[in-house]
Structure 1
Amino acid sequence: MAMAMDFLRFLADTRRLLDWSPGENVSDLMYIALSHESCDLDSVVSTLAIAYLRFKNRGLLEHSFLPVLNMLRRDYPTKTEVRFLLEQHRITQDGHLVFRDDVPECLLLRCRFILVNHHVSPFHYCAEEVYDYRAFQGDAARLPIYCQRVMYPMRACASLITERYADKTCNYIKIQCPMVFDLLHAAVLLQNRNFVEIPKSTLPNDRDYQMLQFLEKHLGKLQAKQRTTLYNTMVKALFDLSALTLPQILRREFKILRATNGMRLVRIAQCCFPMAVTRFISYEFAQLALQEFAAEHDCDYIMLLGTSMHPRGGLGVKELALIPLDGLQDLEGRRIFEHLIINLTVSARPLLRLEPHCHLDFMQGAFFL
């Protein structure tokens, strides 16, 4: 209980760091632990957990550590599974969390960065630590030579962070906070889809599974049925969009892409959400929501990527749509639209295997299963 309260106090105290400025002691530094912009459960939990670990193991140095969720504060309710799990542990949006738009620009210029669950960032020039399971993109990530890269081919960033807690060198004060371990456990379980897709014979040597077992060693070992219940609870929270508006669903997870046919550059918003695309476009104000989103983000096209629950459980059914916002009114726009569709259908990396959804008529878009 004491350790849980200590973690909550750490999070509550981070808001005062928004006014931080360098003191007379030049060795006192501020580190921002910055999450991936998707701000999914894996990224958020990993960011909070590594900031706390580094804070508790700072030794005699008076370094400060500020975990920042790389999203706008207004969009936090769209992360339904994140909000569900954090509120289960009394971690609230207003009392404990700092978001990208909370941080003054002047502070960003004074800080060192810990990049969590990503390594391509505008702040690469002053990154001192990176935690990511993706392959290193050397051309896009100009990290300093001195930057420590913790980058292993695992499936969950939370597994990487758990390894830091298990490492006696990184965690020399042996901090073992049940609340942090509980959050990491849920993230590892969800990110690995309850390990049902991993052959049982290979589980003992699977690094993500080994980290799950490390956490359960301290939390209490769960039976298979208990893990399944926990996983299903998290999946249910992930798909519970009942309290969200259509614009919020579009903003839940998106990024802006750019494409060209050699003559014209267009902006494409890629919006991902845990709902079938066919269900989204069936809502009365779906077209208005898409038009408002495109106007806000200056998009020419919106690509919708929807994932829905398989009837037998699991995340099985996926749909894709490409929506033109100009109604394909000019010849050049139609050519680019066709060019994008051809690239999607012949894509080999990744291999999408798209099947056209031929009987849908919505905003002159192209729909695929």
Structure 2
Amino acid sequence: MKLQATPKAERAVGTNKEAGSKEPRSQRKRMRRHFRGYIKNRSQSCKERSSSWQEIESRPLHVVLGNEACDLDSMVSALTLAFYLAKTTEAEEVFVPVLNIKRSELPLRGDSVFFLQKIHIPESLLIFRDEIDLHALHQAGQLTLILVDHHALPRSDAALEEAVAEVIDHRPIEQKCCPPCHVSVELVGSCATLVTERILQGAPEILDRQTAALLHGTIILDCVNMDLKIGKATLKDKNCVEKLEALFPDLPERSDIFDSLQKAKFDVSGLTTEQMLRKDQKTISRQGIKMVISAIYMDLEAFLQRSGLIADLRAFCQAHSCDVLVAMTIFFNTHNEPVRHLAIFCPHAALRMTICGVLERSSSPSLNLTPAPSIHPNLQAYLQGNTQIFRKKLLPLLQEALSAYSDSKATPSGQHETAGVSGEQVDKELDGAGALLFPRLSQDEEEPSLPPTPMNSLVDECPLDQGLPKLSAEAIFEKCSQISLSQSTTSSVSKK
């Protein structure tokens, strides 16, 4: 997927300095007109100049958007699908992969940073969510969205739902959450598998080694080195990896790429507790009760022994306006087998007890939980015997727990009360921070107008950065103009 040999969206996956110098001036101006009104300008002078950039072309911009967690699977799925669409669609269409995080968040994703460097994709050429105003594009009638690795938009993006033209996801769909559009869903280990299948079926000739390496490494990491016994990989994942290896025999050995990506992913050295919680988080909610589920890449015991942990957990909940924080710790033992444990932080006693009860009693699936010694009354930790229950499989149980709590606190008279725990007990167990964190739990709230994303979410009330981008407007214009190269440049892509 080398930019010097690939038009349109290739600028998001390579470099194209030589070709860029030959770009027609009229085309460069056209692309600048197309984007200038929508890039969040860095300085007041840029903002003043933007008032004169009102002429926008009629053709739409197709944005391929991954999920808000922006893990490696989401990032690579967006990049490679945009590449495929750009190579197989008529020249007037423009496809742009957008990473659904702020640029400043990328360093927290060690595996993504490592892989971008390994595949020779400069971070400076990527476009992040805080660098393009999708709402303004939509208001101008020029936005088409393609969602990958998720199937519903957060409440803050509800207005964009009508712009969604396609969904590609690898987790169960809740019909009420999914936009009315073309939906491709299959329960495989990696969304990159579905993108690989689409490329192989639609235009295998566009694959080059760089694109194949992106897809190959991502599937292997997501599917835990294609170990079917672990329960993440499916036969389709396995078949796609084998087909990529057949086309490009010089791809890295599976164990080598898995070990290097996993090492980068699990490297949390130097991260604060708050950064570890943000590194890979998802959000669900029910009737105004918000829960964050974070993957923590270390042993449970080491996590619980972190200095100032309770204060950090409390501060995280306050900063993210969440009522419950669930940390799923994961590390690999000496046999390279995943070990997963749980820690549930919730100052509200009744809510915490409801969640723990649902998880402990669950038989389909069974977590085989063993309570671990508690370091604080508001924190319940568990050793998880069934290590095949990873976060994606845990989320439905947590949603069930939130629903059970919401149902239990509603009475026929419309009043709310705590099921199984007296008000006095709750008051005794609530510390000062809990009272600050949970003012909403005593209010009679309706279901949100848009249901939350059940699976892939940093969704409801997700705070999108309203600040200024890290890149100058001119730098963004230059990147966007590279996308348009395909409208006048055709080059062959050789398989290496």
Give your verdict on TM over 0.5.
Answer: yes
Show the 5 A alignment for 1:178-327: 178-197=209-228, 206-220=235-249, 226-259=253-286, 266-314=289-337, 316-324=338-346, 326=347
Aligned to 2:178: 141
Q: Distance in 2 between matches of 1:80 and 1:343?
A: 34
Q: Distance in 1 between matches of 2:344 and 2:72?
A: 27
Q: How much has 1:185 moved relative to structure 2?
A: 0.5
Contact 1:302 1:322 (C-alpha < 8 Å) held by counterparts: yes
Q: How much has 1:164 moved relative to structure 2?
A: 1.8
Pair 19,354 (structure 1): closer, same or farther in 2 beyond 3 Å = farther
Q: Distance in 1 between matches of 2:110 and 2:88?
A: 32
Q: Distance in 1 between matches of 2:208 and 2:351?
A: 53
Using structure 1 for the length normalisation, give the TM-score: 0.82
Instruction: Pick one of 322, 333, 338 that aligns with 2:353.
Output: 338
Q: SS in structure 1 opposite 2:333?
A: coil
Pair 279,5 (structure 1): closer, same or farther in 2 beyond 3 Å = farther
Q: Distance in 1 between matches of 2:56 and 2:257?
A: 49
CA deviation map 1:151-174 (0-9, x unaligned): 23322211111112212xx338x3
Contact 1:113 1:126 (C-alpha < 8 Å) held by counterparts: yes
Instruction: Pick one of 48, 51, 64 that aligns with 2:79.
Output: 48
CA deviation map 1:5-59 (0-9, x unaligned): 647634479x977536797764x21111010222221111111000111112222
Q: Distance in 2 between matches of 1:354 and 1:2?
A: 48
CA deviation map 1:131-188 (0-9, x unaligned): 1122332121132xxx332323322211111112212xx338x312211110100011
Contact 2:12 2:127 (C-alpha < 8 Å) held by counterparts: no
Q: SS in structure 1 opposite 2:193?
A: helix
Q: Distance in 2 between matches of 1:350 and 1:19?
A: 51
Contact 2:349 2:378 (C-alpha < 8 Å) held by counterparts: no
> What amino acid is aligned across from residue 340 of structure 2 in structure 1?
K
Q: SS in structure 1 opposite 2:187?
A: coil
Q: Distance in 2 between matches of 1:111 and 1:149?
A: 18
Pair 303,25 (structure 1): closer, same or farther in 2 beyond 3 Å = closer
Higher relative contact order (CA 8 A, sep 6+): 2
Using structure 2 for the length normalisation, give the TM-score: 0.62
Greater CA drift, 124-133 or 230-239: 124-133
Pair 89,287 (structure 1): closer, same or farther in 2 beyond 3 Å = same
Aligned to 2:45: none
Instruction: Pick one of 87, 90, 110 that aligns with 2:120.
Output: 90
> What amino acid is aligned across from residue 291 of structure 2 in structure 1?
I
Q: Distance in 2 between matches of 1:10 and 1:258?
A: 34
Instruction: Pick one of 333, 353, 364 that aligns with 2:378.
Output: 364
Aligned to 1:330: none
Show the 5 A alignment for 1:151-162: 151-162=185-196
Q: Distance in 1 between matches of 2:117 and 2:37?
A: 27
Q: SS in structure 1 opposite 2:68?
A: coil
Show the 5 A alignment for 1:99-114: 99-104=128-133, 105-109=135-139, 110-114=142-146
Aligned to 2:65: 34
Pair 300,130 (structure 1): closer, same or farther in 2 beyond 3 Å = closer
RMSD: 2.9
> What amino acid is aligned across from residue 81 of structure 1 in structure 2?
D
Pair 229,103 (structure 1): closer, same or farther in 2 beyond 3 Å = same
Contact 1:269 1:299 (C-alpha < 8 Å) held by counterparts: yes
> What amino acid is aligned across from residue 266 of structure 1 in structure 2?
I
Pair 23,64 (structure 1): closer, same or farther in 2 beyond 3 Å = farther
Q: Distance in 2 between matches of 1:320 and 1:362?
A: 15
User: Identity over aligned residues, as a percent?
Assistant: 25
Aligned to 1:329: none
